[in-house]
Chain A
Amino acid sequence: MNPPAPWEEIERLYHEALELPVGERNTLLARAGPALREEVESLLDADCKAGLLAVPPTHVVADLLDGQPGGLAPGQRVADYEVESLISIGGMGEVYLARDRQGRPVALKILRPRFTVSAQAVDRFETEARAASALCHPNIVAVYESGRSPAGLFIAMEWVDGSTFRAIMDAGQVETAQAMDWGAQAARGLSAAHTAGILHRDMKPENLMLRKDGVVKILDFGLARDGGEAGPPPSSRGGSGTISGTLSGTLLYMPPEILRGETAASASDVFSLGAVLYELTAGQHPFAGETRLDVFEAIECRPLAAIGSLRNGVPREVDRLILRMLDRRPGGRPSAREVCDVLGGVSGPKKA
């Protein structure tokens, strides 16, 4: 066992070594005794990993200030709404069933203080409030009000009593006629958003809901942007693990141009909806894969099986339409309006 090196010497040699290019440090360190050398080498090694302490502890500060970590209590008021029960918790906040002053049900989405340290989360929340409140359509969930309360940022939305497309697909095979009708409704809502110049950019089964009376509602305009605006989606700007988690969850419905980092257009939403409709009618996802890389490859270049080869009873024009929605070239895809017209023609008169 060598005697420990004096702290002053460790300090001096450490700083001396730091001033040299990495390749020349060994010559300097070779002149030191083994104990000193080992100490300084391990410190220089740690210096390369100095990610720690690089950012202030804002998450814990925010958490500290957030008096109610376990969610809002029934009966608690948020602005003009009274919380009834917690519906879901996601990386981006919580959704409650609440009542307005007249006792009508609303969906209350809350971004708790602890999440507001993430600029992406706040951006996403505010985007959703702004985009959805600019849209008024029976197939898009309505936003009543948004604002700030001691409980967090909040969005009061239309309460949709029903299930997400994800839950419906998990429960079993969907009738083709049903799928056509739902697809037409979703496309109608999407077409209205596109007409208003707003892209959804996160179409997936989790964001489509079927109300108990058969009306389809598009949810979550959290990643929406005005059409034509340049730049990658907020979720790809880097940041916390939660954000990349969101990205991975959505990968299966991402069009190839987005994977390549190109700007989203209305055709990108059409592609994502096409993937949902394929899954809904074929009973399997068009780009399913074992790993993320498999999925990437499938979206980029794997030949798509016609739905008719997987399931009987799908009208040929619907099969063709969905495959066109999944065209790898954005220019080859139909508009949301056209999707709605074709599916509407097949599934007959529909609900508003």
Chain B
Amino acid sequence: MTRLLAEWGSGDQTALNKMMPLVYGELHRIARRAWNQHPHTNTLQPTALINEAYLRLANAQNAQFQDRCHFFAVASKAMRQILVNHARGRLSGKRGRGVANISLDDVEPAVHQEAAEIVALHDALEALHAVDPRKSMVVEMRYFGGLSIEETAGAMGVSVPTVNRDWRLARSWLIREMNRESS
């Protein structure tokens, strides 16, 4: 297994924790600008944001991010944290100043439903991590990072068929887990 997985598996989060704020901040900044310039679907997808964040941070010759694969892994983790935090806030209805008596939640079930799925998925992923850390990382990169099968394989240093198999089993496992939780 790769060095990265070993680091994560052993619970050594120091390196990751040092990089997270930087990646987190950059993702936010890029995402806002992406919206202002090109308010279209593809620029809002995690993978587009992560790719641009990488280019920027790598161009800044930040030694920590010379390894593109490593960056993808960190960025996916950052993206997961960003989205889960936001989804939780959205579900508890705590954000925004709001207009009196009008709840936008009534007209945006898609956002609400997706937020609930993200939170449930996050919890199920924690459980999967305990069973099989590599599979939970594959899902993190594929879903939260928006990476393709090939990019995920590259980032994790495993073969494409392995990612394919991991992805399929992890997906079934997570769906089963989430159905159990909700029933």
Contact = CB atoms under 8 A, between A and B. Distances in A.
Interface of A: 7, 11, 14-15, 18, 42-47, 49-50, 52-53, 56-65, 68-71, 73, 86, 89-91, 113-119, 122, 148, 150, 152-153, 240-242
A61 B32 CA distance: 10
B45 A56 contact: yes
Contacts of A52: 117, 121, 171, 174-175, 178
B18 interface: no
Contacts of A14: 169, 172
Contacts of B107: 89-91, 242
B172 A46 contact: yes
Interface stretch (B8-16, B61-69, B95-103): B95-103
A242 B176 CA distance: 28
Contacts of A46: 171-173, 175-176, 179
Contacts of B179: 46
B41 interface: yes
Given A46-B175, A46-B176, A153 B39 contact: yes
Contacts of A62: 35, 44, 111
A116 B40 contact: yes
A14 B174 CA distance: 14
Interface stretch (B51-59, B81-89, B150-158): B81-89
B171 A50 contact: yes
A295 B68 CA distance: 58
Contacts of B181: none
B143 to A, nearest CB: 5
B74 interface: no
A65 B44 contact: yes
Given A117-B44, A150-B35, 14 more contacts: A47-B171, A59-B108, A60-B83, A60-B86, A62-B35, A63-B86, A64-B86, A69-B95, A69-B98, A70-B104, A113-B35, A150-B36, A153-B39, A241-B110
A70 B172 contact: no
B31 interface: yes
B90 interface: yes
B73 interface: no
Given A64-B86, A65-B31, A116 B96 contact: no
Contacts of A65: 31-32, 35, 44
Contacts of A240: 110
Contacts of B142: 53
Among A7, A47, A53, A86, find the residue whose CB has the most chain B CB atoms closer than 10 A.
A53
Interface of B: 31-32, 35-36, 39-41, 44-47, 49, 82-83, 86-87, 90, 95-99, 102, 104, 106-111, 114-115, 117-118, 121, 131-132, 139, 142-144, 146, 165, 168-169, 171-176, 178-179
B97 A122 contact: no
Nearest to B82: A64
Contacts, number: 143
Contact of B111 (A44, A59, A68): A59
B143 A57 contact: yes
A113 B39 contact: yes
Nearest to B177: A46
A98 B44 CA distance: 29
B62 to A, nearest CB: 24
A153 B36 CA distance: 10
Q: Most A CB atoms within 10 A — which of B32, B142, B178?
A: B32
B86, B102, B106, B108, most chain A CB atoms within 10 A: B108
A61 B176 contact: no
A50 B169 CA distance: 10
A61 B86 CA distance: 9
A70 B169 contact: no
A52 B165 CA distance: 17
Contacts of B165: 15
A95 to B, nearest CB: 12
Contacts of A152: 39
B41 A119 contact: yes
A68 B97 contact: yes
A232 B110 CA distance: 24
A70 B101 CA distance: 10
Contacts of A71: 98-99, 102, 104
8 contacts: A46-B176, A53-B139, A57-B117, A61-B49, A63-B115, A240-B110, A242-B107, A242-B110
A114 B111 contact: yes
B29 to A, nearest CB: 11
A200 B135 CA distance: 51
B99 A86 contact: yes
Contacts of A113: 35, 39
Contacts of B169: 11, 14-15, 43
B73 to A, nearest CB: 17
Contacts of A241: 109-110
